[in-house]
């Protein structure tokens, strides 16, 4: 357990705690944020029967506590951790529905010998587990599990194939064989050697007929949304340490930052990423917003070389093949936040999914229009309007763009219509996978799962479901969120992902989200109250980071080594000839297409994963009882370990609080 904790000490370097009895071992690495003196974990209840390890925050713990006190629960701390424990004691698994937060936790009942675990609705906090012949292992990061000898260290080929189509493994999978992810909105129980999981929450939308109509004036929706978002932000300022904010220069983070400044705080530190490469740089907007809002602003200026330099560390933390480099600057940003003395930062993540800010929603609408109005002369110009700022796409003749997107029009009746072009384009990178992998997996033939009621939703709502359940939950919140933040012990908090905000947005009429090609309509209306017009009216610019120049101008040593024919052959995931041709093309500086760049990052990150986790053991120095703040609680053995002679039935690991 001390080795497991050592492997994730970056997530919680302040205190370590271990509980062990004859059946279970629980461990915690704590990043102390609330009740710094008394929040030590694992935490137990009044009679010592329940033990909790908890990663994350229950933001509404202040509101939940009086009810529990009135029911006779006594509190020894002012933490949300203790509220969670008593809430479970009182309501059992149903407690999950009362939580407003970002969390992954496990509660061991030493009397009934049952373990209960839960993960937040959208998957902001991670939870991985492995079932072994000796019982259940779980942890916040897969690397903690991979330190254990009973866990096989090999990449999951199906997950790898899925990354090369969907940009991430599908729900429930990790990059490693046998290591499973407890999906967002799920709970897990382990009892008598049996593991069961169940979904307790999912994204839901009204039927299409409902979202087609707007029954109240727009201003009424704006007022209600403003109240909700302000309250979501207020809850996310609860901490006994200072809270900072990320400021990207776009509408979403500008709005949450503005709410903090205008409603709750006279002083706020903001942080942002600037790029030396002007194609990606937003620093002008960031500086402007910082001046408008009067924040103390700091910037991490990022070069191509910086991205190439830290990329191996980024992959170590994300633990999954990546198809983009965007997590690397986020990793550098959290380092700056940490070095500036902060543990918590607000971000604007989530608005693009739930208020329809992404181009993919507009693209789907245009493709549908084109399929139905095949003779319209507007068709090419519509595509150019949404893709004009990507690379050199704006210089392509509009007729060709139209023809390109038309290739998916025959799919108009598919529930997956909105995402088929993206997936087909990305799946072109599968040509780099080895023949063995392509033949051994179902590849893109496996589709993400929709809930049964999805056929009755509107088209935009189905697209939102896919974007939120795949891109947001499986990639953005982990590889560009939790993992790169926690790499430097920085917790991000996301007001737009308060479940009340999400459910409110999902119930909105479609035209308050996407009105023609005007995205995030309601948010822009709200933005009028808080922001200058040049911000609330600004077209969205996607956050992107440079790719091939980060690895080939000049190439860091590890790039040469890991992409060499020998390394590719030894690892066995990719077609050596194809990779050699791609590397040659990149090294010539001829410029790579979007697809080529995705393939390049995907191959390089997979090779890094192989090197870091398969070839080598992800061994970490154990937490030291002499050097670290460690408390170990040993309880008397309560029952024979049935069927697992000499071994604990459960080895459990939590972290953070």
Residues that bind other proteins (CB under 8 A): 391-393, 395-397, 399-401, 403-404, 407, 424-425, 428, 431-432, 575, 577-579, 581-582, 585, 590-591, 593-596
Which tokens hold the place of 102? Answer: 């970002």
| Neighbouring-strand partners of residue 198 | 187
In the bound complex, what is the minimum distance in angstroms from residue 397's beta carbon to other proteins? 4
Contact by Cβ (8 Å): 233, 260 = yes
CA pair distance 499, 184, nearest whole angstrom: 13
Lookup result for tokens 């299409």: 208
C-beta of 74 vs 373, nearer to other proteins = 373
C-beta of 267 vs 577, nearer to other proteins = 577
In the bound complex, what is the minimum distance in angstroms from residue 589's beta carbon to other proteins? 12
C-beta of 193 vs 591, nearer to other proteins = 591
C-beta of 508 vs 559, nearer to other proteins = 559
In the bound complex, what is the minimum distance in angstroms from residue 559's beta carbon to other proteins? 18
In the bound complex, what is the minimum distance in angstroms from residue 75's beta carbon to other proteins? 58
Is 270 in a helix, a strand, or coil?
A: strand
Contact by Cβ (8 Å): 147, 3 = yes
C-beta of 49 vs 425, nearer to other proteins = 425
Contact by Cβ (8 Å): 299, 139 = no
C-beta of 109 vs 391, nearer to other proteins = 391
CA pair distance 564, 551, nearest whole angstrom: 14
In the bound complex, what is the minimum distance in angstroms from residue 598's beta carbon to other proteins? 10
**DSSP one-letter string for 28-97:** EEE---SSTTT--SSEE-TTS-EEEEEEEEETTHHHHHHHHHHTT---SS--HHHHHHHHHHHHGGGGGG
First to last CA, the chain: 18
Spatial CA neighbour of 495 closest among 464, 529, 523: 523
CA pair distance 100, 348, nearest whole angstrom: 17
In the bound complex, what is the minimum distance in angstroms from residue 432's beta carbon to other proteins? 7
C-beta of 410 vs 528, nearer to other proteins = 410
In the bound complex, what is the minimum distance in angstroms from residue 413's beta carbon to other proteins? 19
C-beta of 387 vs 471, nearer to other proteins = 387
Contact by Cβ (8 Å): 105, 54 = yes
C-beta of 80 vs 596, nearer to other proteins = 596
Contact by Cβ (8 Å): 502, 493 = no
Tally DSSP H helices, then E strands, for the chain. Answer: 28, 18
Task: Write the DSSP symbol of residue 170.
Answer: P
In the bound complex, what is the minimum distance in angstroms from residue 169's beta carbon to other proteins? 23
Contact by Cβ (8 Å): 17, 27 = yes
In the bound complex, what is the minimum distance in angstroms from residue 342's beta carbon to other proteins? 39
C-beta of 301 vs 585, nearer to other proteins = 585
CA pair distance 517, 69, nearest whole angstrom: 51
In the bound complex, what is the minimum distance in angstroms from residue 578's beta carbon to other proteins? 4
């Amino acid at each position: 357990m001390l080795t497991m904790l050592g492997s994730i000490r970056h997530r919680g370097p302040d205190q370590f705690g271990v509980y062990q009895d004859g059946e279970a071992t629980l461990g915690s690495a704590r990043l102390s944020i609330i009740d710094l003196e008394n929040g030590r974990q694992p935490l137990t209840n009044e009679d010592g029967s329940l033990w909790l390890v908890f990663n994350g925050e229950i933001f509404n713990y202040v509101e939940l506590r009086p009810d529990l006190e009135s029911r006779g629960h006594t509190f020894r701390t002012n933490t949300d951790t203790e509220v969670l424990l008593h809430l479970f004691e009182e309501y059992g698994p149903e407690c999950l529905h009362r939580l407003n937060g970002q969390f992954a936790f496990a509660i061991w009942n030493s009397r009934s010998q049952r373990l209960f675990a839960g993960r937040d609705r959208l998957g902001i906090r991670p939870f991985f587990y492995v079932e072994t012949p000796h019982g259940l292992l779980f942890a916040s990061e897969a690397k903690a599990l991979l330190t254990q000898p009973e866990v096989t260290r090999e990449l999951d080929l199906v997950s790898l194939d899925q990354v090369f189509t969907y940009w991430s493994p599908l729900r429930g999978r990790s990059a490693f064989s046998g290591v499973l992810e407890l999906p967002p909105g799920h709970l897990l129980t382990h009892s008598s050697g049996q593991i069961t999981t169940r979904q307790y929450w999912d994204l839901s939308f009204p039927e299409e007929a409902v979202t087609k109509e707007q029954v109240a004036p727009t201003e009424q929706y704006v007022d209600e949304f403003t109240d909700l978002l302000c309250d979501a932000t207020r809850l996310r300022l609860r901490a006994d340490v200072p809270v900072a904010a990320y400021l990207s220069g776009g509408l979403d983070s500008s709005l949450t930052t503005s709410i903090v400044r205008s409603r709750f705080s006279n002083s706020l530190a903001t942080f942002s990423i600037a790029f030396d490469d002007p194609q990606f740089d937003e620093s002008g907007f960031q500086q402007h917003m910082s001046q408008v809002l009067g924040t103390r602003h700091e910037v991490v200026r990022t070069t191509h070389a910086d991205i190439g330099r830290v990329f191996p560390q980024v992959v170590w933390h994300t633990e999954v093949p990546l198809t983009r480099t965007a997590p690397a600057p986020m990793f550098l940003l959290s380092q700056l936040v940490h070095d500036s003395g902060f543990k918590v930062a607000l971000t604007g993540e989530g608005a693009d999914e739930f208020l329809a800010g992404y181009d993919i929603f507009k693209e789907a609408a245009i493709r549908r229009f084109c399929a139905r109005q095949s003779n319209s002369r507007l068709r090419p110009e519509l595509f150019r309007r949404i893709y004009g700022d990507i690379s050199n796409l704006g210089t392509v003749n509009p007729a060709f763009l139209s023809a390109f997107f038309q290739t998916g029009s025959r799919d108009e009746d598919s529930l997956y219509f909105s995402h088929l072009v993206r997936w087909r384009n990305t799946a072109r990178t599968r040509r780099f996978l080895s023949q063995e992998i392509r033949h051994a997996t179902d590849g893109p033939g496996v589709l993400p799962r929709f809930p049964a009621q999805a056929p009755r939703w509107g088209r935009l709502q189905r697209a939102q479901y896919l974007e939120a359940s795949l891109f947001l939950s499986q990639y953005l919140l982990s590889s560009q969120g939790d993992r790169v933040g926690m790499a430097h012990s920085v917790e991000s908090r996301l007001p737009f992902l308060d479940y009340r905000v999400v459910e409110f947005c999902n119930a909105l009429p479609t035209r308050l989200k996407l009105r023609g090609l005007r995205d995030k309509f309601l948010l822009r209306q709200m933005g009028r109250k808080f922001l200058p017009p040049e911000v609330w009216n600004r077209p969205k610019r996607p956050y992107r980071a440079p790719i091939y120049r980060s690895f080939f101008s000049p190439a860091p040593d590890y790039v040469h080594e890991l992409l060499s024919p020998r390394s590719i052959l030894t690892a066995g995931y990719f077609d050596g000839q194809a990779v050699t041709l791609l590397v040659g093309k990149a090294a010539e500086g001829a410029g790579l297409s979007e697809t080529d760049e995705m393939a390049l990052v995907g191959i390089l990150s997979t090779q890094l994963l192989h090197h870091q986790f398969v070839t080598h053991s992800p061994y970490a120095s154990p937490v030291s009882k002499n050097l670290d703040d460690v408390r170990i609680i040993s309880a008397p053995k309560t029952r024979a370990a049935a069927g697992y002679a000499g071994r604990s039935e459960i080895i459990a690991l939590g972290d953070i609080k």
